[in-house]
Chains A and B, each alone.
Chain A
Amino acid sequence: MTVLRRWRTWAWVLPAVVLLLVFVYYPIADNLRLSLFSWNAFSPEPRFVGLDNYAEAFGDPVFWRALGNNAAYAVVSLVFQGGLSLVLAALLEELVGRRTRGLLRTLYFIPAAMSITVVGVLFSFLYNPRYGLLNEALNGLGLGHLARAWLGEEGSAIWSVIAMSQWQSVGYTAVLFVVAIQRIPREYYEAAKVDGGGPVRTFFSITLPMVREMTTLVVILTISGAFLVFNEVMVMTAGGPDNSSQVLGTWLYRKAFMEDDMGYAATVATVIFVITFAIAAGQLAVSRRRRYDS
């Protein structure tokens, strides 16, 4: 009887295991192997080069710039999507009237429901140095000296893309926080009010600790999202000018499909994998420890 049950269990689990092996573990292992070769779509035989691709990547300033841009993406995203979103959610729940609240929530959420390509093209117009809304607005406000080719200058390209990304995602994470705040029992807030706690004190003493789990989730989502970013950059700058807005994803793509260097691209893919894996593993460790604590 037990043997039969065990077999039945395996029969249910097996398809998923096979799918994972074929579509998850095999590509990871094969990518690792391919990163040790010099090859491209046109080469007849991949040539084994050992760790040359890694040496080349680590000695390549563009690689480090791309990694730096990913890190900048992560930091800014944490501030806006982790910090600002929570404040926004708290304000929505505590201070805004019921009817306006629903309307604002929808308004904040709409950007998250839009296609990234559409948003990218839209913001390219907004940032256009000649007829873009942003420069027009700056000129109108008498701040014409700040106007620039936002996506065309090395100093501002990546930041302009990051800014767009925040505009798109803040509403989404704010809605996640709204859900978390709604689950906090109202008695806590009433008790705080009776004790004379103001809105700021209530936020720090009740809201913040009570949404801790959601905060952890949002932090993981934003950081790993920041290292996987691709579309935004591809649509708006394609990594330019002079690779200044390159992120690991677009650098991988350019190396693989524009410069015919698949081995190097596989190396970049491995680095991205290691980073995202480390983040997930770190989060895993933290959440496990928390569970033991409580």
Chain B
Amino acid sequence: MNTHRWTALLLGTALVTAGCGGGSAGAPAKADLSAPKDKSGTLTMVTKFADPKYAPYFEKVVAAYKAANPKVDIKLEQVGDQPYKDKIRVLTASKDLPDIYFSWAGDFANKFVRAGLAADLTGVIGPDTPWGSTFAPAALKAFQYNGKYYGMPVDLDGKYLAYNKAVFTKAGVRVPKTFEELLSACDTLKSGGVQPIAFGNQYGWAAIHFITQLNAYDVAPKTLETDYAPATGAFTDPGYVTALKQFGDLVSRCGTKDANGLSHETAQAQFLSGKAAMHYLESVEFDVLDKSELDWSFLRLPAPAGAPGDTNALTGAPDGFLVNGQSKNAGLAVDFLKFLSSKENAATMTKDIGWLSPVKDSATSANSYPQLTDALQDIGEAGSFAIWLDTITNAEVAGAYLSGVEGMLSGSRAPEQVMAGVQKAAAKAKKEVG
């Protein structure tokens, strides 16, 4: 009899423990960032670059640093993009945050700053410092919060609509200049039996990248800034609904109905095999296209005519690394990050894995291909970065957007209903932060 009772309790506990873990102390971060005289000790580092395409580069740099500093050990752990989002929270809750950790720009990073878990790097990476002056200023700014700099940007990333030149020529489609032209190009492609845009939205973020860009086009920059900050978000501007409606048009005329059931990678495979004419992807993914047989180029998602927002904004942001504000090895961590962002290592990154680096003059014709150089130029010309909607906003707002847009794709929600959910989440976030 008692066995049953124990079993019942154990069953419950397995779940209960999942919800446990203490909150981290929010002590102000006062990490010692000065370069250690004697470089020794163990550094821990977690990235989201487990993808076999990217992981070897980071392993290589770590090995090189260890070879140059034999008394230093670096425990590098790399996990995938989706698992990273919860892994880092688990590490935070269990007070096991590594010395160096990956972060997206926006509220994702700011959360760590507010909790005192990100070291203030202004003194070493501010634009006026020797190290800081090696970076493109816009990239540093992506990790700025309340006037201070908290992150080292590792890549430059922009979201582009890549297109298959041969398919465009065959269908007699010209490169669209406006959003409306894009839609009619889709109609032409579709009537020719080609899938216009390869689109996989299994985890929700792929759709969110379209919305990020359309929000920037349809809502005034000032309003966006106010709404994206958790303390002031309201999301009542009619531009948000317009953006969702445009996205709805885009999916019905350019996409496919089964997007929620397809992964981004499956969609990419369709583009690579020439079955789809376009694919919306990040410049950090360009390498896959470069290594294929495809004759391709890219454009920004064109802006709707007369859009009231910033039509020169580009979806994207640098990704970066933060240094744990509570770390005892912060000085050593900074030293390693300096090594990682040396011009030589940055150039190797571009060559090995095809990412653009925020380190000035690291991309040359020797280590990159034409599309990558074009992207670098285009990122330079962008008026501002529209940072990923699911990392710039508070997690709860991001969650409401992610599931709301999935619902829109499967036809169960209207744009107005999606925004009602977002507004509710924003109100809750406001209550929590304020």
Contact = CB atoms under 8 A, between A and B. Distances in A.
B23 interface: yes
A41 B261 CA distance: 31
Interface string A261-275: 110011011101100
A154 B399 contact: no
Nearest to A249: B15
A260 B111 contact: yes
Nearest to A284: B4
Interface in B89-110: 89-90, 92-93
A268 to B, nearest CB: 7
Contacts of A279: 8
A224 B19 CA distance: 19
A277 interface: yes
A261 B304 CA distance: 37
B262 A130 contact: yes
A112 B204 CA distance: 31
Given A41-B92, A130-B258, A258 B19 contact: no
Contacts of B396: 259-261
A154 B410 contact: yes
B19 A265 contact: yes
* Interface bracket on A: 35 or more
A43 B23 contact: yes
A152 B259 contact: yes
Interface stretch (B57-65, B291-299, B400-408): B400-408
A254 B7 CA distance: 26
Contact of A149 (B111, B258, B395): B258
B150 to A, nearest CB: 14
A262 B93 contact: yes
A39 interface: yes
A228 interface: yes
A242 interface: yes
A213 interface: no
Nearest to A30: B20
Interface string A28-67: 1011001000111111111000000000000000000000
Interface string B189-223: 00000000000001110000000000000000000
Contacts of B86: 253, 257-258
Contact of A152 (B25, B93, B260): B260
Contacts of A288: 1
Interface stretch (B66-74, B112-120, B169-177, B339-347): B112-120
B8 A281 contact: yes
Nearest to B204: A240
B14 A228 contact: yes
Nearest to A45: B23
A224 B8 CA distance: 9
A281 B5 CA distance: 7
Most chain A beta carbons < 10 A, residue from B11, B112, B204, B409: B11
A128 B1 CA distance: 46
A142 to B, nearest CB: 20
Interface string B406-420: 110110110000000
A153 B23 contact: no
Given A34-B19, A150-B261, A242-B404, A42 B409 contact: no
B89 A260 contact: yes
Given A42-B115, A241-B407, A149 B260 contact: yes
A284 B19 contact: no
A91 B119 CA distance: 67
A243 B261 contact: no
B406 A276 contact: no
11 contacts: A40-B93, A42-B111, A127-B261, A128-B262, A153-B260, A228-B15, A238-B203, A240-B260, A242-B410, A257-B86, A266-B19
Given A30-B20, A42-B111, 7 more contacts: A27-B17, A28-B13, A41-B21, A41-B90, A41-B115, A149-B258, A260-B395
